[in-house]
Amino acid sequence: MGRFLVTGGAGFIGSNFVRLLAESTDHTITVLDALTYAGNAASLEGLPPSRCRLVTGSVADPELTQELVADSDVVVHFAAESHNDNSLRDPSPFIRTNLVGTYTLLEAVRRHGTRYHHISTDEVYGDLELDDPAKFTESTPYNPSSPYSATKAGSDLLVRAWVRSFGVQATISNCSNNYGPYQHVEKFIPRQITNVIDGIRPKLYGAGLNVRDWIHVTDHNLAVLRILEAGQIGETYLIGADGELGNKRVIELILELMGQPGDAYDHVNDRAGHDLRYAIDSTRLRTELGWEPVYRDFESGLAATIEWYRANEGWWRPMKQATEARYAAAGQ
């Protein structure tokens, strides 16, 4: 596994994965990223140029992907359009990146016999009732509810088909909601943190009863590395850290950790198709591959994330104003 191609490696989870690889292994790393608004070359600053390079381009470009895959031993596919609200406004980029891009990569790894790992989401399973004791498992039927989750579900199925039909050496992981450094300020947790830093009251969709299963990005990426090391080809692994928490409680915790009253937030209109609850059962990953999360306490992981945003204003400040303008135009 000497030469890694990481798609979407300038995005949130991808850049953290690249940093983990650079800091804990001797692998060489090529990042392929379209550098849309969600990709940021600054997220890769400070990495050794002798081992890490950034190529700007699309995963849906067949000539480019063939060239890069031919020079790689492993492809880890993070690149995706991933914002639910954006997918409701314009689904077309989600079709191109999540479906056409995955197809293009699969054809490249098929041609060159390259190991491939596909990063996906728990949103492909739809949602669970708030009072349902069940959690998602590897056998849960797909039931996506937005253009974003539908295109991710479709990309997962493409991977499975290419494994079965063409013998592609691939694994899949579906992960719960990530938080941590380098996450775009449009996302729920960094938006609230940066609002508090700026003296703006946080915004909560609807009543805030929706539950997410939170995992620190470092734990997600350590799980991906473990799957690459020991996962069975053709198999799917769910990644979760038992971090179920309602959105209302998350905002209250952010405010409390930042020295504000726990009720100093405003309610805004709920978004269309807002899934009620996600919950991951990661038993297979833990029992078969021996993975365990490092951040078992959400509050400590959140406190570390708050400190990162406080200390790295130069990273998130350039994108904050435009992000808030988009939310304001949508009444959120």
Q: Which residues are marked as active site?
A: 122-123, 148
CA distance 65 to 70: 8
Secondary structure of residue 175 in the 3-state scheme: strand
Query: Which token pair is 110?
Result: 């098929």
Host H or E run for residue 138: none
Task: Kindly provide the b/e burial profile for residues 14-48, where b requires at least 16 CB atoms within 10 angstroms of the residue's own CB.
Answer: bbbbbbbbbeeeeebbbbbbbeeebbbeebbeebe
Query: Are the C-beta atoms of residues 206 and 267 closer than 8 Å to each other?
Result: yes
Query: Are the C-beta atoms of residues 266 and 201 closer than 8 Å to each other?
Result: yes
CA distance 140 to 279: 12
Query: Are the C-beta atoms of residues 24 and 30 closer than 8 Å to each other?
Result: no
Query: Are the C-beta atoms of residues 9 and 44 closer than 8 Å to each other?
Result: yes
Query: Which token pair is 223?
Result: 């799980």
Distances (CA, A) of 104 to 109, 121, 167: 9, 20, 16
Question: Where are any strands of DSSP class E within the chain?
Answer: 3-7, 28-33, 52-56, 74-77, 115-121, 170-175, 177-179, 203-205, 211-216, 236-239, 244-246, 266-268
